[in-house]
Amino acid sequence: MASKQSTMDKSKPIEVSFSTLMKMGLSSKTEWPDTEIFLDWIYWSRQIVGLFLGLIWGVIPLTGFIGLIAFGLCSSGYVYLYCTTHNIDDEEHGGIWEIVKEGFMTNFASFLVTWIITYSCVHFDESLTAQQL
């Protein structure tokens, strides 16, 4: 899934399991040895945040373009906050723009799917019943 440069041999990629990646990401003392590993963490944590936001937006329900804009702000804000609270040197990983846009489109698609399906499942039958009444 993820590749990492070993400290012994810089050109040889090594594998990092998903659970190790999660542990590394959640720890505040992690020193990211490789940009690919760090961006993998950003990618997967963003996916989880996107799914979570889609679920919440669908249940509330948050509708219209406010929902889309709120998602954009929350998703980018999460990455920015993570970098500032964990003292990440963004220049080391290609700049803050590269980090913020990492996996954004996939994240956006995952969010939309969760939002649409949750909204349809939770509220659509109710609104149909209300219309019929």
Binding site for other proteins (CB under 8 A): 1, 3, 11, 13, 35-36, 39, 43, 47, 57-58, 61-65, 67-68, 105-106, 109-110, 112-113, 115-117, 119-121, 123-125, 127
Cβ–Cβ < 8 Å for 89, 31: no
Which of residues 28 and 64 has its CB atom nearest to other proteins in the complex?
64
**Minimum distance, C-beta of residue 94 to other proteins, in the bound complex (Å):** 9
Residue 13's φ and ψ, nearest 5 degrees, are: -75, 140
Which residues neighbour 36 within 8 Å (Cβ) at sequence distance 6 or greater?
Answer: 2, 3, 4, 5
Which of residues 25 and 58 has its CB atom nearest to other proteins in the complex?
58
**Minimum distance, C-beta of residue 7 to other proteins, in the bound complex (Å):** 15
Residue with tokens 């720890």: 27
Residue with tokens 């920015």: 80
